[in-house]
């Protein structure tokens, strides 16, 4: 029996996500949401969970970032080659879009674990000669195009994904909607739960809503209202036709526009946010819904630098399978921890030199800031007072590496990238600052291991969780972050990293950041190396055992899937 035949027989949980970061060469992700989905799949493979993953092929990728001489982001398509990594399956299904049949074929990608287990990922593709030319483009661009394009993609993902699973013979009991993008999946499930003899004047009584709710798990990933997909019912009617009566949709997804988050909330029996604070915020945004929290985690084997992996392997050969054993990392000897870190730092410096021509020093602390470039993450906060930053740099030299993509339609993000260029020029000769273009999984792994300090400055409570700081901690890179998302749970100030707490919170964060850097973080680096290494070990041994995707998946299994 092939791995796939075994998966078809075994899988009982289907995880639907618009994006998933499988490997750097497969451009089916844009950022944190996709990396989380990828880490979920990697842990599912390690733990041999009966799961199948469904996403879009996104053959033209998300964004290929280049920086112009003036420091502006120039973005283009970022194609990848499915034939190198996946194989097309013979089965096809059709969904109705604007009254036409749109055919969908899945490609099979296997997420393999070193222990020999694997989970399948189905990548849905509409680029088939059976389809009209515009329909062949539906699965090209991740988060590309207008509302109509996005709605078509979400039909392919949700409705098409459900049909594909049936056509392949999967018998799924639980459907996990990773963010609202997948919420149209509830519509075929509703139709499967139709009551034949119901009174057709009552929109909701025609369906066994409870049966759908029993099958769906919904994870919401953002408290930013603009992050929820919403579609005009006019558009829905044109594109989706009468797949489900409008009255039913309005009752479930909001009266004025189809809100994908609302739809998912109403049809999922288990709903969670991705950190404790995020679940609290979500409960305030959606009163009356039961929303619990499962804090995100990262896949330790993927995000731990080889130099640290070797240290762990020599003591706990099974450490990556049992990340709990990282609790003993506080017993590592100082020299081997520092040496492992300097190996990772040297690798990052080499990458910076080849990719940007900049030569940074290995004996000067390196601050990393790599984020999706968008307003609420406040990418410019560290540069809010250049004079002050210069004074600090003269006292305690430091270097900064910046990276991150802006969505081509996000003007705030594009502005931040352009502004970096000016800040870099103004600090010329005072502090070395480099922008590393093309932030992706590969660069992320190098950055989270090779910096000394990992900076994060979101505006609370808008960072749902964040995960890059967890990756940094695994490598003994110390977080310096505003208290939001997962950091509220992971931060013991002065032990696992540092908090930035402005007075007042929000506007005061810039001053608090400078004070922490000048009075605490940089002096520790220069004057108390044993104290610094002690904190590195605290970060690994306290954050690693908890903020990993094995722990996260065991909670989804016991609380959400086995419900
Ligand atoms: C981990 C990761 C993220 C998530 O970063 P946060 O800013 O902490 O949410 C985004 N993009 C890439 C490429 C990553 O590896």
**Predicted confidence band at 223 (pLDDT cuts at 50, 70, 90)?**
very high
- Continuous segment of H or E residues that includes residue 94: strand 93-97
Q: What's the pLDDT at 1? A: 83
Spell out the residues 6+ positions from residue 127 whose beta carbon is closer than 8 angstroms to its own: 57, 59, 136, 137, 139, 140
Per-residue pLDDT at 202: 80
CA of 467, closest atom in ligand 1 = 8
pLDDT in tens, 351-395: 999 999 999 999 999 999 999 999 999 999 999 999 999 999 999
Strands 118-125 and 51-56: parallel
**Per-residue pLDDT at 57 exceeds 80:** yes
The model's pTM is: 0.98
Kindly tell me if the per-residue pLDDT of 199 is higher than 80.
no
Strand partners, 366: 399
Percent of the chain with pLDDT strictly greater than 70? 100
Q: What is the mean pLDDT of residues 137-161?
A: 98
State the Cα torsion 104-252-274-178 to the nearest 10°: -10
* pLDDT value of residue 435: 97
Mean pLDDT of 501-521: 96
Nearest Cα to Cα of residue 404 among 370, 355, 448: 370
Answer whether 441 contacts ligand 1 (Cβ < 6 A). Answer: yes
What domains does the chain contain, in order, with CATH numbers?
Answer: 3-296+552-561 (3.40.50.2000), 300-547 (3.40.50.2000)
Residue 127 has pLDDT above 80, yes or no: yes
pLDDT tens for each residue of 518-541: 999 999 999 999 999 999 999 999
Distance (Å, whole) CA 547 – CA 467: 9
pLDDT at 231 over 90: yes
Cα 97 versus chain centre, distance:
29
122: helix, strand or coil: strand
Token look-up 């210069």 returns 390
Summarised one tens digit per residue, pLDDT across range 325-338 is 999 999 999 999 99
Mean of pLDDT over the chain: 97
**Residue nearest atom 6 of ligand 1, based on CA coordinates:** 466
Pocket test for ligand 1, best of 20, 24, 31 (most atoms within 8 A of CB): 31
Of all protein residues, whose CA lies closest to atom 3 belonging to ligand 1? 32
Instruction: Calculate mean pLDDT across residues 36-51.
Output: 98
Per-residue pLDDT for 459 more than 80? yes
Per-residue pLDDT tens for 270-320?
999 999 999 999 999 999 999 999 999 999 999 999 999 999 999 999 999
CA dihedral 387, 388, 394, 398 (to 10 degrees): -110
CA distance 247 to 296: 36
60 Cβ below 6 A of ligand 1: no
Question: Using a 6 Å cutoff on CB, does residue 31 contact ligand 1?
Answer: yes
Q: How confident is the model at residue 201 (pLDDT cuts 50, 70, 90)?
A: confident
* Sequence-distant (≥ 6) Cβ neighbours of residue 515 within 8 angstroms: none
Task: Supply the pLDDT for residue 418.
Answer: 94
Cα–Cα distance for residue pair 94/539, rounded to 1 Å: 50
Instruction: Give per-residue pLDDT as tens, 473-482.
Output: 999 999 999 9
How far apart are alpha carbons 541 and 324 in whole angstroms? 9
Q: Is 137 helix (H, G, I), strand (E, B) or coil?
A: coil
Report whether pLDDT(152) > 90: yes
**pLDDT tens figures, 393-404:** 999 999 999 999
Q: Is the CB of 383 under 6 A from ligand 1?
A: no
């Amino acid at each position: 029996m092939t791995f796939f035949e075994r998966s078809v027989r075994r899988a009982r949980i289907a995880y639907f996500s618009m994006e998933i970061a499988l490997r750097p060469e497969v451009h089916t992700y844009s950022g944190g949401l996709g990396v989380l989905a990828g880490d979920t799949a990697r842990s599912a493979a390690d733990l041999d969970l009966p799961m199948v993953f469904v996403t879009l092929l996104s053959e033209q990728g998300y964004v290929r970032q280049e920086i112009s001489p003036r420091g502006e982001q120039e973005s283009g398509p970022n194609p990848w080659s499915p034939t190198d990594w996946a194989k097309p399956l013979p089965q096809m299904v059709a969904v109705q879009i604007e009254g036409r049949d749109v055919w969908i074929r899945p490609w099979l990608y296997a997420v393999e674990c070193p222990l020999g287990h694997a989970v399948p990922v189905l990548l849905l593709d509409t680029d088939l000669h059976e389809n009209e030319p515009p329909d062949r483009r539906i699965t090209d661009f991740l988060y590309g195009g207008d509302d109509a394009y996005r709605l078509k993609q979400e039909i392919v993902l949700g409705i098409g994904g459900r049909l594909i699973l049936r056509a392949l013979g999967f018998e799924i009991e639980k459907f996990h909607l990773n963010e609202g993008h997948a919420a149209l999946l509830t519509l075929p499930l509703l139709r499967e739960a139709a009551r034949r003899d119901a009174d057709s004047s009552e929109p909701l009584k025609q369906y066994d809503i409870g049966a759908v709710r029993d099958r769906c798990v919904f994870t919401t990933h953002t408290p930013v209202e603009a992050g929820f997909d919403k579609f005009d019912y006019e558009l829905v009617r044109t594109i989706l036709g009468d797949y489900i009566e409008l009255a039913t949709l309005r009752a479930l997804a909001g009266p004025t526009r189809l809100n994908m988050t609302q739809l998912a909330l109403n049809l999922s029996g288990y709903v969670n946010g991705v950190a404790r604070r995020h679940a609290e915020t979500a409960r305030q945004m959606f009163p009356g819904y039961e929303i619990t929290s499962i804090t995100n985690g990262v896949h330790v084997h993927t995000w731990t630098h080889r130099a640290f992996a070797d240290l762990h392997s020599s003591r706990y050969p099974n450490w990556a399978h049992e990340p709990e054993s990282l609790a003993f990392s506080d017993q590592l000897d100082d020299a081997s921890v520092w040496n492992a870190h300097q190996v990772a730092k040297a690798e990052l410096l080499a990458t910076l030199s080849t990719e940007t021509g900049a030569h940074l020093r290995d004996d000067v602390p390196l601050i990393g800031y790599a984020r999706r470039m968008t307003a609420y993450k406040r990418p410019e906060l560290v540069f809010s007072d250049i004079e002050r930053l210069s004074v600090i740099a003269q006292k305690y030299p430091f270097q900064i590496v910046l990276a991150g993509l802006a969505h081509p339609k996000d003007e705030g993000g594009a502005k931040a990238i352009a502004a970096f260029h000016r800040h870099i020029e103004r600090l010329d000769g005072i502090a070395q600052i480099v922008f590393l273009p093309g932030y992706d999984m590969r660069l992320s792994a190098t950055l989270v291991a090779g910096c000394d300090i990992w900076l994060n400055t979101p505006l609370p409570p808008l960072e749902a969780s964040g995960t890059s700081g967890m990756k940094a901690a695994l490598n003994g890179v110390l977080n310096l972050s505003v208290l939001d998302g997962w950091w509220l749970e992971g931060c013991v100030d002065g032990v696992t990293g540092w908090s930035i707490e402005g007075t007042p919170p929000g506007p005061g964060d810039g001053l608090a950041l400078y004070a922490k850097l000048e009075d605490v973080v940089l002096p520790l680096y220069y004057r108390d190396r044993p104290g610094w290494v002690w904190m590195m070990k605290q970060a690994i041994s306290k954050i690693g055992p908890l903020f990993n995707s094995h722990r996260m998946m065991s909670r989804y299994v016991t609380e959400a899937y086995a419900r």
